[in-house]
Amino acid sequence: MATSTRERGKYHYLVWEDGEPAGHYVNGHVTPDEFRAAIDAYFRDSRHKPIIPADAKIEHVYVRSVRVANDDYGNRQYQWRHTSAELGFPMTYWEIFPNLNSDG
């Protein structure tokens, strides 16, 4: 049986082509406090730590990785897309900009 390398509560730093994240993701379905703690731990020594408003809509979602293209050097490029529980893995998410790559 395969084991998952997705550590619950681990923050995933994703940056889009324009250099800005559209949202923040933490592995698993965690509580809002755990979500904030994961982001705080990741950005502990950074001047660019995101500030999550008290009324932020922190959601439980499922995502999957989809190959979309090759870059100019032939490297595969992937996107995370929101999907159904049957097709993806659980993440906790705070949206900064609307996710345009949802398929579920």
> For the residues of 6-53, what is the DSSP string, one character each?
--TT-EE----TTS--SEEEEESS--HHHHHHHHHHHTTT-TTPPP--
- Residue 61 falls within a domain, yes or no? yes
Please report the pLDDT score of residue 50 as a whole number.
80
According to DSSP, the residues that pair with 92 across neighbouring strands are 26, 60
Structural domain contains residue 85:
yes
34 within some domain:
yes
Whether residue 102 is contained in a domain is answered as no
Residue 71: predicted pLDDT: 74
Could you tell me the mean pLDDT of each successive run of 10 residues in the chain, 104 residues long? 68 71 89 94 83 90 86 78 92 78 50
- Name the domain count of the chain: 1
pLDDT given for residue 67 in this prediction:
82
Whether 87 is in a domain gets the answer yes
- The pLDDT, as a whole number, for residue 18 is 59
pTM: predicted TM-score of the whole model, two decimal places: 0.76
Host domain of residue 40: 11-95
